[in-house]
Structure 1
């Protein structure tokens, strides 16, 4: 059985163009964007108030592209896109999206990197993506320099993006984006990309890193048309609910990392295409967020569940600010529980809460809640141009869900999807790409690794609820953590003979990693207590990994890690064991 978007969702007015750069698509009204005359400034710094108009932003990325072309020796049409890969490793900035558009203008590829990365993690992404230059910010410069040196990127190929906050002592020997833009004013215009028919559907725009359904982080190749398609899908999906409330343009919050696919496409790119103003905060801090809402009269908050929980836990602080401008709270990256959803509505009268669902591999949203049709506890309905099916996790056969019998719509299975936004696959990893997709008589489907059920809203429209995960990812505050990555690192510690990592519930982060370790004889020989050994293992992770990958769930010791005959770690058995122990202790899962 194939599911289609509900009838209330408008069809896309035209096919997503496949010969257009993302920046050109955003800036030209002929591609369906909000009238520039009625649009707000695309980005505003939530700390300083600095902003640029639509025309100024376009000029800035055009001039930056000219300067990068001269400094890097890059030619628009003579070099391949893979010769022009730029890593953007920075906290949020009003110039973040502009810098990726400049890279695209050169026929290049942008690879956003998580600002929480350690030098070794950034090094991995630089090496994997083939990055030739790095755009970073002052607070992250030391990490960027270490990683760049390790992969052979010269210091003169590292550039500084201005972000709100510390800016150094003013004696940096690295060119800032503003200096490059000034240089670009004296340089001749660049030639236009000579794209052939359909090139936008084939050419990579962003390499974003994801663990997919399992394994170590992999570069997801996202084409220009993939991004454009999702921008269009979101814009027309949301047009109904916004239209009913008389909302043409609005002020939205941009606190989520723009390096994350949610912040990049859903918040930033889709928002500015609709003519909205995105108020950018460099990173999340509750008081700054509340001050920002009050100062800029923000209408929509795009958040993740851990931030929502912090709002609920700090209501006395929230009451000190005027939050009356907020109309809609949109949440994704992890499911929002029914109880939490209902508590938000009770605690913040006037706020409406909706969820969305997507993956890096689907670039991004495939399920969404419209302001006109919300089902508490569900991720939403299919967006226009997207179809789905649910297959049994044991047989792989499609599950028939008609809704004609009581309880029939609670049949569970893995969610499979088709959409013009679905990415090209994984960079230099044909095996992982092959595992992520399946073919049948209805075409090519991406496997989500998530278990879904179909439910109906009061209006009778189908919504999908994500109720479990087949895939092994751990989601910490919306960040993806691959158990295999942590396990590989733990095995380098002299006290670890074997190990497995699973997610455990955490009230603030949603989930956190917990390690199950088989100790080496050396650990016992030193006469250390289990507590001391656990502390040493945790420090080993903290010294080398981003903070969200730390073993906040703790370390437990086993005699043997459960494995299948083929050697695959049976994490499911460990999760079941952990769940039962928490149930006995009365812990809330």
Structure 2
């Protein structure tokens, strides 16, 4: 089967001389929705109900950019870290930095100080914007890296007993009180394709997370591609109507939540209700309160909605559309969800940080996307499915998914080797095994790469294995993913211990010493890694970690063993699925 192509897309529809801020706030576009009611806000704060309209957003972006330039000296290509839960000022921080020609690096607010420090060092951060929940980690990492307290800015409020920090609101007000002291960055024709706008971190198969360098052109292109595919500028079959409301519950530090859940929906005239942090019951209340029409979710949300008795206690009849991404949605779960929301359109999409973001999406012709399908190719996307022998797969045959899209990232910042392994001859090698049917539906079969997908987040086994080897009792380790009802997958560790510890465990008739060591290893990971990297799947002690003659871990063999162990423990009641724990 030859190279496949999505619907045509004229390159002239994607401006290559605009920053993301200019595209979102300043310029008209043929695909932009013009049917947003005058009174409809762009953003709503879920907790307070505060509404923020277009003109207020533009003014706040100017005020913040003005102060960041004058008081903080933020200039061309300076990098500022944004480590915050979702907030109505989150996009404003990004757009203000883009007005100055600066770059934003997005960080998970749940990261530990050591995980944050790695990102600060790699991208050479000049200042940090943090929320209260992340402040302790920010202070510790900033101290180690050498960022002074004066260059830490809070999204909102101050903690008692801590130094008084400037807040986004104070910077905005200060900037609005002064005349413009900066000249907005204007891009030359074509420069949008090369000028970095955002660093988003993505786990690779080896080592620590990699900084994906996303130019301004890429998110703009993906918004245009997605808007064209779903006819955002109107029509009887458009999936966007005047007065639509979405729930911004996906984290904005992730490209799925940022580029699709925020930029795309705002471009399409949808009001985004900004939810700081996911809580299931609160999500149900928000859907009912704000009459949410569009939900952009991940499979764990579907598990909760389908299994929890609380779901039926709330008025969710306003929901008209549900899009799932970040991980495959099983056929069984899709059918349950369709029964729960019989009047809603339901389907999946597929994307990567490296393709910023969507490359597949269920089409307008399907009210419910083909069961199990990740969708059809978006406009302007080309793809190949390549078998292990290098030949192109036929219809129905599995192979690796290779993608070419206008929304391509530039590569991995300061990592030429990793870039050369993934970005090859104009294609992103996804590491996902897929097949396509005669109707153009793509089905994700398996991951060829070793990444574990936990609640949509990527976890590199090699990162956890390297960390485990720092434990004094661990001689070798292999981490694999095991199925989980709520999280999709969770990490499971096979561990071989040093000789002295092995003797101790061998003589441990009660098993107490083994359990004590497992708990110590769990804590060793939990103390320094974000929550979704913790060993929730379990730990199994083995004599030796099996490897090939060349030294590669026999990960597939151990993955099968881990699944059997996990299933046995769940059946015996010795472990509880995280889905049950969340209900």
TM-score strictly above 0.5? yes
User: 1:532 Cα shift?
Assistant: 1.6
Aligned counterparts of 1:361 and 1:111: Cα–Cα separation in 2:
15
Q: What residue in structure 2 maps to residue 253 of structure 1?
A: 247
User: 1:537 Cα shift?
Assistant: 0.7
User: 1:525 Cα shift?
Assistant: 5.5
- Write the deviation string for residues 409-445 of structure 1: whole angstroms up to 9, x where unpaired: 3210000010010100001000000000222xxxx21
Q: What residue in structure 1 maps to residue 374 of structure 2?
A: 379
Change (3 A) 1:322 1:510: same
Change (3 A) 1:62 1:565: farther
Q: What residue in structure 2 maps to residue 445 of structure 1?
A: 427
* SS of alignment partner, residue 545 of structure 2: coil
Q: What residue in structure 1 maps to residue 122 of structure 2?
A: 128
Q: What residue in structure 1 maps to residue 319 of structure 2?
A: 326
Contact 1:358–1:366, Cα closer than 8 Å, also in 2:
yes
* SS of alignment partner, residue 306 of structure 1: helix
User: 1:582 Cα shift?
Assistant: 6.2
Aligned counterparts of 1:242 and 1:346: Cα–Cα separation in 2:
28
Q: What residue in structure 1 maps to residue 528 of structure 2?
A: 544
Contact 1:89–1:135, Cα closer than 8 Å, also in 2:
yes
Aligned counterparts of 2:502 and 2:162: Cα–Cα separation in 1:
52
Q: List aligned pairs for 1:150-549, cutoff 5 A.
A: 150-162=144-156, 168-169=159-160, 173-189=164-180, 190-239=182-231, 243-245=235-237, 247-249=240-242, 250-314=244-308, 316-373=309-366, 374-392=369-387, 394-399=388-393, 401=394, 409-439=395-425, 444-456=426-438, 461-524=439-502, 529-549=513-533
Change (3 A) 1:580 1:173: closer
Give every structure 1 segment of 4 or more consecutive aligned residues whose post-TM-superposition deviation is greater than 6 Å.
582-589
Contact 1:205–1:224, Cα closer than 8 Å, also in 2:
yes
Aligned counterparts of 1:370 and 1:22: Cα–Cα separation in 2:
26
Contact 1:212–1:361, Cα closer than 8 Å, also in 2:
no
Let me know the Cα RMSD of the aligned residues. Answer: 2.3
Aligned counterparts of 1:56 and 1:412: Cα–Cα separation in 2:
50
* SS of alignment partner, residue 298 of structure 1: coil
Contact 2:17–2:186, Cα closer than 8 Å, also in 1:
no
* SS of alignment partner, residue 421 of structure 1: coil
Q: What residue in structure 2 maps to residue 578 of structure 1?
A: 562
User: 1:566 Cα shift?
Assistant: 3.3
- Write the deviation string for residues 28-70 of structure 1: whole angstroms up to 9, x where unpaired: 3423322386473221111111121111111111110110111
- Write the deviation string for residues 305-355 of structure 1: whole angstroms up to 9, x where unpaired: 0111011111x2111111000011111000000010001111232122110
Contact 1:12–1:384, Cα closer than 8 Å, also in 2:
no
Q: What is the total number of aligned residue pairs between the two structures?
A: 560
Aligned counterparts of 1:45 and 1:212: Cα–Cα separation in 2:
35
Contact 1:10–1:237, Cα closer than 8 Å, also in 2:
no
Please list every run of 5 or more consecutive structure 1 residues that lacks an aligned counterpart in the other structure: 402-408
1:566 to 531, 537, 550: 550
- Write the deviation string for residues 514-535 of structure 1: whole angstroms up to 9, x where unpaired: 0000111242365662222111
Q: What residue in structure 1 maps to residue 43 of structure 2?
A: 43
- Write the deviation string for residues 481-536 of structure 1: whole angstroms up to 9, x where unpaired: 11111111111101100001000011111100000001112423656622221111
Change (3 A) 1:154 1:297: same
360-369 or 191-200, which deviates more: 191-200
User: 1:15 Cα shift?
Assistant: 3.5
Q: What residue in structure 2 maps to residue 405 of structure 1?
A: none
Aligned counterparts of 2:316 and 2:543: Cα–Cα separation in 1:
53
Contact 1:252–1:278, Cα closer than 8 Å, also in 2:
yes
Contact 2:153–2:168, Cα closer than 8 Å, also in 1:
yes
Aligned counterparts of 2:491 and 2:246: Cα–Cα separation in 1:
32
TM-score by length of 2: 0.91
* SS of alignment partner, residue 410 of structure 1: coil
- Write the deviation string for residues 193-242 of structure 1: whole angstroms up to 9, x where unpaired: 14333111101110000014554210000000011000101111111797
Aligned counterparts of 2:451 and 2:471: Cα–Cα separation in 1:
23
User: 1:561 Cα shift?
Assistant: 1.3
Contact 2:204–2:460, Cα closer than 8 Å, also in 1:
no
User: 1:171 Cα shift?
Assistant: 7.5
Aligned counterparts of 1:202 and 1:259: Cα–Cα separation in 2:
21
Q: What residue in structure 1 maps to residue 108 of structure 2?
A: 114
- Write the deviation string for residues 366-399 of structure 1: whole angstroms up to 9, x where unpaired: 001134322111000000000101000x212222
Aligned counterparts of 1:445 and 1:499: Cα–Cα separation in 2:
33
- Write the deviation string for residues 74-118 of structure 1: whole angstroms up to 9, x where unpaired: 34xxxx41xx10110001001101101111111000011011111
Please list every run of 5 or more consecutive structure 2 residues that lacks an aligned counterpart in the other structure: 578-583
Contact 1:36–1:54, Cα closer than 8 Å, also in 2:
no
Aligned counterparts of 1:301 and 1:229: Cα–Cα separation in 2:
22
* SS of alignment partner, residue 12 of structure 2: coil
Change (3 A) 1:423 1:152: same
Aligned counterparts of 1:285 and 1:269: Cα–Cα separation in 2:
23
360-369 or 133-142, which deviates more: 133-142
User: 1:571 Cα shift?
Assistant: 1.2
User: 1:270 Cα shift?
Assistant: 0.6
Aligned counterparts of 2:480 and 2:528: Cα–Cα separation in 1:
19
User: 1:121 Cα shift?
Assistant: 0.7
Q: List aligned pairs for 1:64-103, cutoff 5 A.
A: 64-75=64-75, 80-81=76-77, 84-103=78-97
